[in-house]
Amino acid sequence: MNLKEKVDLNNLPKHIAVIMDGNGRWAKKRGGLRIFGHQSAITAVRETVEAAAEMGVKYLTLYAFSTENWKRPATEVTALMQLLVSTIRKETATLNKNNIRLQTIGNTSSLPASCQRELMEAMDLTKENTQMTLVLALSYSGRWDITQAVQRMAAEVGRGSMKAEDITESSFTNYLSTAGIPDPELLIRTSGEQRISNFLLWQMAYTELYITELLWPDFRKEHLYEAIISYQRRERRFGKTSEQLTK
């Protein structure tokens, strides 16, 4: 029995989030520039997206570029933005072929105009697709997400269209950039780093974490299957006891 056959398709996480880490280290091991690692990571993205959609995962969120990544050397950031534009342009047809819808979260207005155009066009071309939603987190941070949600709600309270007592956990989620998207049940992080790096801070309150030493450019379909199998072996109690779950 191969790994894919061991996955229980009736117990899939509806939403998987991925911190795609290790591109720079992967390139350094091979004597290449960091951008070489980013270029090589495209295959990992493609395989992960295809495998998730094939199994029936409904949402896949990839941490593609964080707010903090703007602090990297300008040459690397420029190369990353160029790579993002060319990849979106090339992959839109494949997304449509696989019935995958593209969305973004983050402060995308800070991206170069060319990136914004490609993203808008790709999202428009894939908006009717229903098999899976691929969410790219771009210029994103969890603290930014929470801050912008608070600002929007405060503005509504100031205008009188919302009362302070209307602010609840449920209503707050509607102001996050992930409004309408279920919280991720599984987070995969490659490269062995054991932190969540300012990613989906509110949304990951009860997310199961799967850390692998594998560097992201080496990630393939079987590694996604391994992560899901690990998730399916866990007991998700949400504060309850095991005995309460069996009643």
pLDDT recorded at residue 191: 97
Tens of pLDDT, residues 14-39: 999 999 999 999 999 999 888 888 99
pLDDT mean across residues, the chain: 93
pLDDT recorded at residue 229: 98
- Does residue 245 register a pLDDT over 80? no
Mark residue 122 as left, alpha or beta (left: phi above 0; alpha: psi -120 to 50; beta: remaining).
alpha
- Does residue 244 register a pLDDT over 70? no
- Does residue 11 register a pLDDT over 90? yes
Name the residues annotated as catalytic: 21, 69
pTM above 0.75, yes or no: yes
> How long is the chain?
247
Tens of pLDDT, residues 99-125: 999 999 999 999 999 999 999 999 999
The residue with tokens 């790579």 is 83
- Does residue 237 register a pLDDT over 70? no
Query: What are residue 59's DSSP bridge partners?
Result: 15, 133
**Burial environment of residue 165 by CB neighbours within 10 A (0 to 12, 13 to 18, 19 or more):** exposed
- Which of 1-5, 93-97, 185-189, 227-231 has the weakest average pLDDT? 1-5
- Rounded Cα–Cα distance for residues 84 and 90 (Å): 10
Tell me what the mean pLDDT of segment 34-45 comes to: 91
- Rounded Cα–Cα distance for residues 13 and 228 (Å): 8
- Rounded Cα–Cα distance for residues 3 and 236 (Å): 22
| Confidence label for 171 from pLDDT (cuts 50, 70 and 90) | very high
